[in-house]
């Protein structure tokens, strides 16, 4: 069988704990976040146009396989990853307890597994005492057997303990018979050997024709994973970190459990992810129209045109819908690294949908144009008319004390219209004069590099907005930074272009 290209997500040492949490666990490991970190890694790859056909887990899947309920954690991890529809192959680590459980839950028995024409050799190495492990005779024989039975199939060895190069440390990270293992790989023509266990990792090293890689641990900062691209006899490994590498970044637009469109975000989880992934400031910025109206009224956008719906929400409800509740909840979240705000829209007459008593108490208001009066999706509004209405609403929006314009021009894509490229410079200059930042936003949106360049030339501040509705989007600034760098902004200069609330 001729191998076809295959993209592989490689994860080492997640040390997942949930139900099996125990006292005295290593504080450097973010074990409770491990599953979410894997899901964020998948999200990162997919946003780069990469669809993994395989997930490789290199051991230490749970933090203490002997702890009560650790079997439930392992089962939960397996279920969450297998339900993605992506094939998963896992090897046991020294923290996983009974290696048979890993094989059972993941369908990853030791031996040869053929995927897309590639042969993945999985090993469950034997504990021989005092943290020492060694490969069994059966395991040592496997590479030669696989090569003989499947000539021409590229072979990839997958194990927990590193094989090469030598790690000089008192703790026995490597297999006791690693030299014998390496000789077997050389003789069988193994192309690539993948290991975990040594948390700092080791870069790719070629030894006697075999490339050896030790993947850093996902459970510890900077939360590393790897992408393996297999293409016949060729392969390429790219290392990614989920921790933000640029200091001083702020996400001005992150939703909470109060948003009707939220799926898996919550204020507490958002804060935990932001803190651990290196986001300097997180703004919990909720839709005002979600707080004033019940879901059916909010999503109808009839409140834009029917003032009686607004009056009922503002006058007939003691807390103006859920606004008073959210204000108390959000105010309790404010602190070092956390700011609170609202995402606000216009009503048809150009008035901001914000009760006079609700203007105060926020660190920022983010202005948004989600809908425009008289314009219906698929309603045949001419492009020129839409552009005039957009500019009119933008002018009205900027007459209020907003600090950021959310997802500029996204409304055109949502109405299946062309982006008005000829308006980019005018909008950028208008925002600069008003002292309002333009948001880079990738939530069901694709920012235009030309508009970013127009903003940079006009001196318009830039705001990073995840517009997070699911936890995978929280503290995910990779695309934002990439766009700025592609626009010619050097890493050392990024901070001075960014808007950050006081």
Q: Are residues 106 and 132 in the same domain?
A: yes
Helix 70-82 / helix 34-47 crossing angle, nearest 10 deg:
10
Cα–Cα distance for residue pair 93/240, rounded to 1 Å: 22
Domain total of the chain:
2
Q: Are residues 236 and 268 in the same domain?
A: no
* Mean pLDDT computed over 402-417: 96
Indicate whether 364 belongs to any domain. Answer: yes
As a whole-number percent, the residues of the chain with pLDDT over 70 amount to 98
Q: What is the pTM of this model?
A: 0.94
Q: Are residues 22 and 128 in the same domain?
A: yes
Q: Are residues 157 and 190 in contact, defined by beta-carbon separation less than 8 angstroms?
A: yes
* Predicted pLDDT at 306: 94
* Mean pLDDT computed over 463-485: 97
Indicate whether 46 belongs to any domain. Answer: yes
Q: Are residues 273 and 471 in contact, defined by beta-carbon separation less than 8 angstroms?
A: yes
**Do you find a cis peptide bond into 469, omega within 30 degrees of 0?**
no
- Return the number of other C-beta atoms located less than 10 Å from residue 477's C-beta: 21
Confidence band, pLDDT 50/70/90 cuts, at residue 199: very high
Q: Which of the listed residues 241, 263, 288 is the one where a domain comes to its end?
A: 241
Q: Is the pLDDT of residue 381 over 80?
A: yes
DSSP conformational letter for 218? S
* Predicted pLDDT at 378: 61
Q: Is the pLDDT of residue 101 over 60?
A: yes
> Which of 21-30, 51-60, 163-172, 492-501 has the least mean pLDDT?
21-30
* Mean pLDDT computed over 349-369: 96
Q: Is the pLDDT of residue 401 over 90?
A: yes
Indicate whether 89 belongs to any domain. Answer: yes
* Predicted pLDDT at 380: 78
pLDDT in tens, 33-46: 999 999 999 999 99
Cα–Cα distance for residue pair 240/221, rounded to 1 Å: 12
* Predicted pLDDT at 303: 96
Q: Are residues 181 and 122 in the same domain?
A: yes
**Do you find a cis peptide bond into 276, omega within 30 degrees of 0?**
no
* Mean pLDDT computed over 150-176: 96
Q: Are residues 194 and 273 in the same domain?
A: no
Q: Are residues 237 and 263 in the same domain?
A: no
Determine whether 419 is exposed, middle or buried from the number of CB atoms within 10 Å of its CB (0-12, 13-18, 19+): middle
Confidence band, pLDDT 50/70/90 cuts, at residue 1: low
Q: Which of the listed residues 241, 261, 292 is the one where a domain comes to its end?
A: 241
Q: Are residues 235 and 254 in the same domain?
A: no
Q: Which of the listed residues 200, 224, 241 is the one where a domain comes to its end?
A: 241
Q: Is the pLDDT of residue 23 over 80?
A: no
Cα–Cα distance for residue pair 455/254, rounded to 1 Å: 22
pLDDT in tens, 431-461: 999 999 999 999 999 999 999 999 999 999 9
Sheet holding 118-122, edge to edge: 111-115, 118-122, 155-158, 192-195, 210-214, 202-207
Q: Are residues 232 and 262 in the same domain?
A: no
Confidence band, pLDDT 50/70/90 cuts, at residue 502: confident
Q: Is the pLDDT of residue 22 over 80?
A: no
- Cβ contacts of 290-299, under 8 Å, gap ≥ 24: 290/258, 290/259, 290/260, 290/261, 290/322, 291/258, 291/320, 291/321, 291/322, 291/323, 291/326, 291/342, 292/320, 292/321, 292/322, 292/323, 292/353, 292/355, 293/321, 294/321, 295/260, 298/260, 299/260
Indicate whether 502 belongs to any domain. Answer: no
Indicate whether 106 belongs to any domain. Answer: yes
Q: Are residues 223 and 266 in the same domain?
A: no
Q: Quickly list DSSP for 1-48.
A: -----EEEEEEB---B-STT--TT--TT--GGGHHHHHHHHHHHHHHT
Q: Are residues 402 and 344 in contact, defined by beta-carbon separation less than 8 angstroms?
A: yes
Q: Are residues 208 and 113 in the same domain?
A: yes
pLDDT in tens, 303-351: 999 999 999 999 988 899 999 999 999 999 999 999 999 999 999 889 9
* Predicted pLDDT at 21: 64
Indicate whether 450 belongs to any domain. Answer: yes
* Predicted pLDDT at 379: 66
Q: Are residues 288 and 374 in the same domain?
A: yes
DSSP conformational letter for 198? S
Q: Is the pLDDT of residue 221 over 60?
A: yes
* Secondary structure element (H or E) that encloses residue 57, with its range: strand 54-57
Cα–Cα distance for residue pair 193/471, rounded to 1 Å: 33
Q: Are residues 418 and 382 in contact, defined by beta-carbon separation less than 8 angstroms?
A: no
CA distance between the termini of the chain:
61
* Secondary structure element (H or E) that encloses residue 134, with its range: strand 132-134
* Predicted pLDDT at 28: 79
Indicate whether 1 belongs to any domain. Answer: no
CATH code at 286? 3.20.20.140
Q: Are residues 265 and 193 in the same domain?
A: no
CATH code at 53? 3.60.21.10
* Mean pLDDT computed over 58-78: 94
* Predicted pLDDT at 19: 80
- Three-state DSSP state, 488: coil
The chain-wide mean pLDDT, for the chain, equals 95
- Domain span holding position 25: 6-241
- Return the number of other C-beta atoms located less than 10 Å from residue 337's C-beta: 13
Q: Is the pLDDT of residue 54 over 80?
A: yes
């Amino acid at each position: 069988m001729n191998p076809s290209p295959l993209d592989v997500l490689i994860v080492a040492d997640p040390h997942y704990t949930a139900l099996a949490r125990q006292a005295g666990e290593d504080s450097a490991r973010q074990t409770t976040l491990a599953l979410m970190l894997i899901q964020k890694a998948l999200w990162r790859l997919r946003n780069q146009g990469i669809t993994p056909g395989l997930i490789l887990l290199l051991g230490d899947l749970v933090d203490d396989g002997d702890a009560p309920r650790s079997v439930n954690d392992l089962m939960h991890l397996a279920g969450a990853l297998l339900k993605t529809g992506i094939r998963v192959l896992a090897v046991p680590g020294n923290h996983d307890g009974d290696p048979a459980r890993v094989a059972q839950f993941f369908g990853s028995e030791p031996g040869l597994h053929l995927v897309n024409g590639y042969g993945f050799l999985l090993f469950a190495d034997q504990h021989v005492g005092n943290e020492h492990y060694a490969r069994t005779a059966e395991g040592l024989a496997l590479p030669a057997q696989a090569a003989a039975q499947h000539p021409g199939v590229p072979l990839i060895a997958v194990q927990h303990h590193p094989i090469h190069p030598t790690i000089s440390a008192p703790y026995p990270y490597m297999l006791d018979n690693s030299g014998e293992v390496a000789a077997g790989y050389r003789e069988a023509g193994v192309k690539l050997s993948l290991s975990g266990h040594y948390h700092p990792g080791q870069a790719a090293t070629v030894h006697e024709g075999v490339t050896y890689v030790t993947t850093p641990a996902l459970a510890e900062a900077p939360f590393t994973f790897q992408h393996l691209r297999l293409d016949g006899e060729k392969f390429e490994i790219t290392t990614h970190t989920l921790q933000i590498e640029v200091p001083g970044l702020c996400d001005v637009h992150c939703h909470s459990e109060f948003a009707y469109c939220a799926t898996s975000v919550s204020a507490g989880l958002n804060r935990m992810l932001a803190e651990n992934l290196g986001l300097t400031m997180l703004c919990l910025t909720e839709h005002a129209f979600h707080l004033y109206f019940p879901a059916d009224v909010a999503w109808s956008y009839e409140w834009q045109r029917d003032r009686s719906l607004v009056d009922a929400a503002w006058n007939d409800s003691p807390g103006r819908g859920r606004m008073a509740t959210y204000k108390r909840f959000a105010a309790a979240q404010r602190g070092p690294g956390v700011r609170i705000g609202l995402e606000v829209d216009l009503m048809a007459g150009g008035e901001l949908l914000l009760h006079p008593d609700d203007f105060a108490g926020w660190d920022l208001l983010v202005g948004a144009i989600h809908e425009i009066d008289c314009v219906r999706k698929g309603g045949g509004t001419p492009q020129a008319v839409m552009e005039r209405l957009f500019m009119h609403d933008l002018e009205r929006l900027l007459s209020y004390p907003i600090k950021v314009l959310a997802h500029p021009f996204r409304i055109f894509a949502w109405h299946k219209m062309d982006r008005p490229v000829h308006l980019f410079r005018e909008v950028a200059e208008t925002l600069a004069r008003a002292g309002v930042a333009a948001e880079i936003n990738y939530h069901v949106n694709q920012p235009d590099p030309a508009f970013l360049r127009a903003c940079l030339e006009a001196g318009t501040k830039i705001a990073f907005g995840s517009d997070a509705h699911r936890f995978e989007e929280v503290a995910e600034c990779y695309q934002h930074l990439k766009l700025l760098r592609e626009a010619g902004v050097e890493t050392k200069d990024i901070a001075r272009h960014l808007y950050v609330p006081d």
